[in-house]
């Protein structure tokens, strides 16, 4: 179980690194006006999304493996709530993919909107870590 947990944490860190940085790239992308700069951001966003998707897949795989190893944990409300927040995080991840497409198409939202959007994974991280560590 400790090996599963260790690899789960490694992939979670990878996933969150991308979740923190990709929306920041969106902020820079939307403020860039030259074609070469926008093209550079599109490449960076696609590559980072690929890496963070690997992190997400690994985190989910090892998370599920831990549940399979100890299904009794599903009886705890803290874990069920944590899984709900992880589902929200997966939704955020998929929303990022959609935003990459919107920015590549030349549409997008305001810089201010992306700055607020950038705060969501941080809030989810705080709640998920508290649930996983404190187990209220």
According to the model, what pLDDT value does residue 41 have? 95
According to the model, what pLDDT value does residue 106 have? 87
CB 93 within 8 A of CB 17: no
**% of residues, the chain, pLDDT over 90:** 95
| Per-chain mean pLDDT for the chain | 95
The mean pLDDT of 4-30, rounded to a whole number, is 96
pLDDT exceeds 80 at position 71: yes
According to the model, what pLDDT value does residue 135 have? 93
Query: Could you give the dihedral angle defined by the CA atoms of residues 76, 78, 82 and 83, in that order, rounded to the nearest 10 degrees?
Result: 20
The mean pLDDT of 55-63, rounded to a whole number, is 98
According to the model, what pLDDT value does residue 107 have? 82
Let me know the angle formed at the C-alpha of 59 by 54 and 62, rounded to the nearest 5 degrees.
120
pLDDT exceeds 80 at position 4: yes
Of the listed ranges 55-69, 102-116, 119-133, the least confidently predicted one is 102-116
Distance CA 26, CA 41 (A): 8
Distance CA 57, CA 59 (A): 6
According to the model, what pLDDT value does residue 1 have? 85
In the structure, how many helices (H) and strands (E) does the chain have? 5, 0
According to the model, what pLDDT value does residue 108 have? 75
According to the model, what pLDDT value does residue 79 have? 96
pLDDT exceeds 80 at position 100: yes
Q: Is the dihedral of CA 67, 97, 50, 93 positive or negative?
A: negative
């Amino acid at each position: 179980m400790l090996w599963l947990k260790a690899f789960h944490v490694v992939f979670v860190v990878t996933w969150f690194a991308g979740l923190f940085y990709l929306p920041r790239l969106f902020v820079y992308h939307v403020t860039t006006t030259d074609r070469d700069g926008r093209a550079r951001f599109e490449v960076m966003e696609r590559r980072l999304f690929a890496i963070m998707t690997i992190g997400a897949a690994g985190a989910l795989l090892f998370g599920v493996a831990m549940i399979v190893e100890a299904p009794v944990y599903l009886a705890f409300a803290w874990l069920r709530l944590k899984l709900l927040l992880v589902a929200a995080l997966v939704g955020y991840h998929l929303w990022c993919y959609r935003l990459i497409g919107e920015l590549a198409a030349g549409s997008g939202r305001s810089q201010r909107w992306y700055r607020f959007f950038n705060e969501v994974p941080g809030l989810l991280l705080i709640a998920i870590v508290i649930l996983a560590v404190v187990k209220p």
